[in-house]
Amino acid sequence: MIVAEQKPIRELVEMVKDFQKILVLGCKGCVTVCNVGGAKEVGVLASALRIWGRKTGRDLQVGEHTLERQCDPEYIEELRGIVGEYDAVISIACGVGPQFVSERYPTARVFPGVNTKFMGGAVAHGIWSERCAGCGQCVVHYFGGLCPIARCSKSLMNGPCGGSADGRCEIHKEVECIWDTIVRKMTEQGRLNELIEFKPPKSWTTARDGGPRSMIREELVK
């Protein structure tokens, strides 16, 4: 899933301080699952804004709405007749949401309520970890099912580097050295020799470095 975190409330109120009618817009997709943008968080943020409004003597009207997803136009359509009622929309979906809303409703003022962090998963309740960098050419099978692109600080294809110590990365002791883990796992699987083989430099043309990406599947396009 796409993992996001809420923007600080100070930053949010700074964004919307000149508006009177604000819609908080949630998404039932990834951001619900990572506990940042679902119906509950919509309610919590809306309440926080109302409290702020009262404390600062503003006559705020805060609406709450949660869409099935903010990354499909059909669901964005649901806001027709709603968006016009508000001066501003705070989307607490990932970065896709506010853009889809802005594109569909060109006059609306749309603000992001969360910072989109990474593609990853929950390793435990309340702890998320990056797993995918979206490089466009998946290589995890070479590395015991672990991705050095997303999980190595240097995205090394031939690791570990000299900064690996006690299974930790030199950039921070909290950061796991994925190459240490890869080596251990490959050893366990009796495939260490596969790591001896040199991996040529990766082509980054399929990644963000190749410019903004889009994808067309002809068989699905009418």
Tokens of 88: 């501003």
Q: Does position 91 bind other proteins by CB under 8 A?
A: no
Give dist(CA 44, CA 217) in Å, integer: 40
Kindly tell me which residue out of 8, 14, 17, 40 binds other proteins, with binding defined by CB under 8 A: 40
Kindly tell me which residue out of 124, 196, 216, 221 binds other proteins, with binding defined by CB under 8 A: 124
Span from 24-32, 79-87, 165-173, 191-199 in contact with other proteins (CB under 8 A) = 24-32
Q: Does position 184 bind other proteins by CB under 8 A?
A: no
Q: Does position 46 bind other proteins by CB under 8 A?
A: no
Give 44 or 192: the residue with its C-beta nearer to other proteins.
44
Give 50 or 131: the residue with its C-beta nearer to other proteins.
50
CA-based R_g, the chain, Å = 22
Span from 34-42, 95-103, 191-199, 200-208 in contact with other proteins (CB under 8 A) = 34-42
Q: How many residues bind other proteins (CB under 8 A)?
A: 16
Give 124 or 215: the residue with its C-beta nearer to other proteins.
124
DSSP characters over 17-46: TT-SEEEEEEESSHHHHTTSSSHHHHHHHH
- Coil, helix or strand at residue 149: helix
Q: Does position 35 bind other proteins by CB under 8 A?
A: yes
Triad 157, 159, 163: Cα angle to 5°: 130
Element (H, E) at 102: helix 96-104
Span from 11-19, 28-36, 77-85, 136-144 in contact with other proteins (CB under 8 A) = 28-36
CB 113 within 8 A of CB 24: yes
Q: Does position 125 bind other proteins by CB under 8 A?
A: yes
Sign of the CA dihedral 72, 77, 82, 84?
Answer: positive
